[in-house]
Amino acid sequence: MTVTVDPHAGFCWGVVRTIDIAEEELKETKSLYSLGPIIHNPVEIERLREEGLQPITHDDLEQLRGKSVLIRAHGEPPSTYQAARRAGVTIIDATCPVVTKVQERIRKFYDQGYQIVIFGKREHAEVIGLVGQTNNEAVVIASVEEAARVDVARKTVLFSQTTMDKETFAKIADALRTRVREFVVGTFEETAADFHAKDTICGQVSGRDKKLREFAQRNDVMVFVAGKNSSNGKVLYEICRQANPRTHFVEHARELDPAWFHGAATVGVSGATSTPQWLMEAVKQGVERLTQAKEPESATEFSRHH
């Protein structure tokens, strides 16, 4: 059996940048606080915890006067920076530059009196940061059906959470375009002539779709590695599963089941943009250990070795 790690999988550059900033800071201080989990991957969070990175909540800020707190790649609303200043906390801003650009564009349109509509998940950290640019007045929708909540009498601009899917975004844009007299699709640029082609979805994330489908179709079995709370992970896993029904979701190598690989000649391992390369390699080794054993281990026996 051949086991291959997807060459296009792994951290997006925004996550790589955030992890690098955290690790550089930890070399100097040996202790750093992260406002929320630095990424949606519990295994990587635990690795960084062992290096000194401690996740906290917004309620903890007042207790950290004189300490340094890292803003993760998802970004934060203006109210967070204000609270940090009042608490005497030093902010280390590791917001993904792509997210920062969306925040800036939203703020500009809001200041011009536009109704801001955001395609995204209301409780997602990135969306909370985006809505915060509008004094919490933005309308957040997750489907074409929810577009009915938009006030069609107001001039309106549509933006997107950076990790959403382009197909649904295009459908929402088309639905609003037919109902709103003055309608604009928000982009990373100052102007956009082709509204159908422009959006604020991260190209590195959306570009994964086609390559992931192709990789999944080339393998008999797929193992998709991601945190269960990863929004991007859920989207990419579903794409993978559609391309290859023999796709299995795991957070860690110990969750592997030998029964998944019966009769398979090729196994592919892929993951979300928040899945570290080392974890996918560990899952690959776990699959190889299971499938190369003379007597296939049960999942319980395998977990004892990992």
Counting every residue written for the chain, the total comes to 306
Of the candidates 128, 204, 192, which has an alpha carbon nearest to the alpha carbon of residue 158? 192
Q: Which CATH class is domain 13-96?
A: alpha beta
How far is 109 from 249, CA to CA, in rounded Å?
A: 40
Domain-wise residue ranges, the chain:
2-9+205-304, 13-96, 98-161+166-200
Q: Where are the alpha helices (DSSP H) in the chain?
A: 13-29, 42-51, 78-87, 97-111, 125-131, 166-177, 203-206, 208-218, 231-243, 277-292, 299-304
How far is 289 from 88, CA to CA, in rounded Å?
A: 51
**DSSP one-letter code for 298:** P
How far is 67 from 41, CA to CA, in rounded Å?
A: 25
How far is 122 from 196, CA to CA, in rounded Å?
A: 24
pLDDT at res. 197: 41
Which residues carry out catalysis?
126
| Residue ranges, the chain, pLDDT below 50 | 192-197, 294-300, 302-304, 306
Of the candidates 201, 191, 195, which has an alpha carbon nearest to the alpha carbon of residue 118? 201
Which CATH topology does 98-161+166-200 take? Cobalt-precorrin-4 Transmethylase; domain 1 (3.40.1010)
pLDDT tens digits for range 71-98: 999 999 999 999 999 999 999 999 999 9
CATH number of 2-9+205-304: 3.40.1010.20
pLDDT at res. 296: 45
How far is 135 from 91, CA to CA, in rounded Å?
A: 21
pLDDT tens digits for range 283-299: 999 999 998 864 444 44
Q: Is 98-161+166-200 in the same CATH topology as 13-96?
A: no
3-class DSSP state for residue 152? Answer: coil
